[in-house]
Amino acid sequence: MEHLILFIPLFALILDTLLGEPPQYMHPICFLGNTATFLEKKLRHDQQNHSIAFLNGLLASFICIIIFSIIPTLFFLCIEKFLSYSFSFLIPIIGIFFSTLILYICIAPNSLIEHIHFVTKELENNNLIEARKKLSWIVGRNTEKMEESEISRACIETLSENSVDCFFASFIWAIIGYLLFSFTGIIFFISLHRTLNTLDAMWGKRNEKYEFFGKFVARFDDVLNYIPARISFIFIIIACLFTKNTNIKKAIFIGYKYRNTLASPNSAWAEAPYAGALNLKLAGPVVYGDFHCDYPYIGEGELSATKQHIYTALVLYKNSIIIGTLFTILSLFIINSFK
């Protein structure tokens, strides 16, 4: 029965395609966000003392890790222990069910694709106001004054960034988790990554407000994304072979040249090959709320992205997902063969 472990990535993708994301009122990631907001209000109050701010952020992070990663793992272990007495044949079935459920909750490719389509539909109708509004649903930057080319570039950047955070990383940690600790490892490492990645999105900003409170989650998230970001680079390059209107030579050259352009050790590893494949300049100066961030550009192509670039990026994104899924299935097959 355990050979069905191979189909966990496929089962999770099917659930994501058929069901989309769970409703907000029952989505664990929303519970995590609400918990993090509550803890921040209680603990992020002494910004002058950097050591206390860091320790408070560390405490808040560990509380979230316990609730959303350690407790689910212990819950599965308790079920596994109970079944081992008389119903051990059910352990693989329960393990596959929990692993698929956790993976489905932690990935969201279908939702991201849908939101990108919402934006492109407004661009097709020349409705910049609505396009800016719908883009703001999926990016943290200020979209109020964006023109069409900026909106298009932001969509492509979001696709590339989220290919690691919301997809590849979960699949890679599923492989590592199964290799180390079977089903328990899958549940623990996927939930740990999603917890830290969500907290990083909330607290990991390098500004006066979060510089020390969010330092732990920012560094820990960098560690957890280190391997997935570099493997995703390969997936995106391979996906160029199956995607029209992309340039694989530029994807390799620009991707490698600009892979370390941004301050984060992982952020540009997915964005740079997209820039090369589409012959665009991505990233660059952006505004978050009232903060102007003078980020460097990634790539050496055009700044004027179009709707067609978004369509090509969507196909590239989907093809890279297929390649990542096949890689995960093959990896699980190899690991399972030696167990």
Tokens of 35: 């918990």
The C-alpha atoms of residue 55 and residue 213 are separated, in whole angstroms, by 7
Q: Please tell me the predicted confidence (pLDDT) of residue 289.
A: 67
Average pLDDT over residues 62-75: 97
What does the pLDDT average to over 103-118?
Answer: 93
- Average pLDDT over the chain, rounded to an integer: 92
Please report the pLDDT score of residue 142 as a whole number: 82
pLDDT above 90: residue 187 = yes
Q: How far is CA 274 from the centre of its chain?
A: 16
pLDDT in tens, 264-312: 899 899 999 999 999 999 988 877 766 677 789 999 999 889 999 999 9
pLDDT band at residue 122, thresholds of 50, 70 and 90? very high
DSSP class of 280: B
pLDDT at 207: 73
**166 neighbors 13 (Cβ within 8 angstroms):** no
Closest CA to 306 of 119, 134, 160: 119
Q: Is the pLDDT of residue 196 over 80?
A: yes
Mean pLDDT of 226-249: 96
Query: How wide is the angle at C-alpha 203 spanned by C-alphas 134 and 282, nearest 5°?
Result: 50
Region 147-163 average pLDDT: 93
Residue 211 has a pLDDT of 86
Which whole number is the average pLDDT over 132-157? 90
Helices (H), 136-281: 148-163, 169-203, 215-240, 248-257, 268-278
Among 47-61, 125-139, 197-211, 288-302, which is the least confidently predicted range?
Answer: 288-302
133 falls in which pLDDT band (50, 70, 90)? very high
28, 105 contact by CB (below 8 A):
yes
Q: Do 262 and 298 meet the contact criterion of CB atoms below 8 Å apart?
A: yes
Using alpha carbons, select from 337, 305, 46, 51 the residue that is nearest to residue 158: 305
Is 90 exceeded by the pLDDT of residue 116?
A: yes
Please give the pLDDT value at position 46: 67
CA–CA distance, 232 with 225 (Å, rounded to integer) = 10
